[in-house]
Structure 1
């Protein structure tokens, strides 16, 4: 673990030697539509205030740990309120993207009526997917490092359910060519998502918040 941190620190430091600031931003999923859109918005917002960004794919919990330590500069998107658990993180106050949590199943078709309706089933949850982790405590949960692992377990009936945002989950089903897997509605939960920065970059907070708001509101006109 310490070797990983050292290597990341060297890479990040080497990208910040120029005059223009470059931030390292953690992403915890692959190039699904939600992540691609989020990266596009965030990159453009930072460009408008003269800051470059580069994205580093990391497992969810490790990403939070490294960002909290200041090895990584920020998080692409997370649910609100994580600064209570990770005190070195600052939540950018403007939510620039939204997401929801839904259930994907193969053979266990049932009526989704909130988190408690999942209790009888075997569930795959990605490590670091905080809203799912917190709402399935005490359930039969298998933690996975990537959505791909969860859907592969679902395909061979090692779990009954995968919890994921709809566009992310469906993109993995399509990419892996999985048959017979479907998304159940309504969503378990809908949430605004936020960008986070390490506190050493707190001076950027008002600028990036305004830039994100300007981008999203202008795009919706």
Structure 2
């Protein structure tokens, strides 16, 4: 319940007592947002509220995952909403805001439940949503045969018709496709294949925003409860 109060409180705080933006080079930023991802809504509320407390307005540009990363790294937008360090820190023009925005798990989904406690991955055919880089790289590291899909609906279809041995699905606080009823007919292995943390990244021209943003996010003490609230009604895709 505490978390359900966070975003309204943050937004009110941002409106009622924003810091002057005179200390920063800009009063507006454009953030690249991965399209069709359920956890985006909760993350964007937190990020927007943090910027607003610095007196900075936020515009968004919804694009596919790799495109979002490219635009942010090239400086054609001001920031990337969230990335894992594994991906974000490969880009020399992106700087991580050093506060964990969201926690996630990469889950394996099987047609049947007869996979045992430690399912085999090497050589298996796996459905992976294109652009979910943590899933793509984990599958490659485990020696799996990737079937990249446009969306999770296509992954479901491949599972249902036994065209793949499993699917890898990212389960991120604030929204997960695994909460939808259509996944209930498959076996979701209880142990995650990988755990990961997502951070907000800004282009290096906005390096002066990194520490102020981190301090504001750290003070959002009931942030988790808000994500829990959002996860109930925001599970349309990832």
TM-score bracket, shorter-length normalisation: 0.7 to 0.9
Q: Evaluate the alpha carbon distance shift between residue 178 and residue 131 of structure 1 in structure 2; reply closer, same or farther with a 3 A threshold.
A: closer
Distance 1:107 1:124, change over 3 A: same
Does the alignment pair 1:86 with 2:94? no
2:29 alignment partner, SS class: strand
The count of residues paired between Structure 1 and Structure 2 equals: 196
The correspondence of residues 67-216 of structure 1 with structure 2, limited to 5 A, is 67-107=72-112, 109-111=114-116, 113=118, 117-137=120-140, 138-166=143-171, 167-171=175-179, 173-174=180-181, 177=182, 180-215=185-220
Residues 172-199 of structure 1 show CA distances to partners (whole Å, capped at 9, x for unaligned) of: x44xx46623321111122221111111
Gaps of 5+ in 1: 1-18
Report the equivalent of 2:6: none
Structure ranking higher on relative contact order (CA contacts 8 Å, 6+ apart): 2
The residue number in structure 1 matching 2:70 is: 65
Q: How far apart are 1:29 and its partner, in Å?
A: 4.7
Query: Quick check: 2:73–2:91 contact (8 Å CA) kept in 1?
Result: yes
Cα 1:113–1:56 change in 2 (3 A) is farther
Structure 2 stretches of 5 or more lacking a match?
1-24, 226-238
- Aligned partner of 2:228 in structure 1 is none
SS in 2 for 1:185: coil
